[in-house]
Amino acid sequence: MLTGPESADMQLIFTKPSVTNVTLLFKGQPYYEVSTTDSSAPTTKVTSFLTNEPLITICRHRFQSDTIKFAYHHDARPLKIKKWLKEGNPTSGRLTWTISTSMGMFVWRTDTDPRLVLCPENDTGRPIAWIQVASEGAQLAIVMKREVEGIKDEIIASVLILERDTEMKEKRIGVSVQAAARTNPLAFAMIF
């Protein structure tokens, strides 16, 4: 079990249980603004409330690779998301994604509680960031140890990408279940 957020070094709380068009709060104050401009081919920007400067730009494309650009990492050049955030082979029933940062390689892995955990690639038992999932009495949040403050932009970006992908999968599953219920309600009712 992980240390609770009350003893973590930094907790960024989402103002709603979504990763699009949301504000991230630090100690109750607006810290980052996440804005998504177009739902068909979205561009998501993460802007600092302190400097009003865009720090992260995520561009989703229909026919080309999705890209990400950081103001202060990777020489501020666009990177293909699939090369920066590489999906790994499931190990022990867990999905993994590796990110390459200026502080080295880190691995996001699925877990039960919390849902996603970030660890150094060479020490996957030592969580340095994780997602606190929205539940009764708790809001969606990114929790990070102070030791990774230098790559917090990359942690935030990877969370936005992974959580958005999760939201989209959940919506597709919901649509599939609704379609199945409409086409064959009796068979659907027998399953549930």
Residue with tokens 């190990």: 91
Distance CA 114, CA 130 (A): 7
- Does this model's pTM top 0.85? My answer is no
Quote the mean pLDDT of the chain: 81
> Higher model confidence: residue 112 or residue 65?
65
Per-residue pLDDT of 12-53, as tens digits, reads: 999 998 888 999 999 999 999 999 887 666 899 999 999 999
CA distances to 5, 11, 59, 95, 102 from 2, in Å: 9, 14, 33, 19, 25
Domain boundaries, the chain: 7-191
CATH code given to domain 7-191: 2.40.160
Per-residue pLDDT of 54-91, as tens digits, reads: 999 999 888 888 999 999 898 889 999 999 999 887 76
Q: Please classify residue 156 by burial: count the beta carbons closer than 10 Å to its beta carbon, then call 0-12 exposed, 13-18 middle and 19+ buried.
A: buried
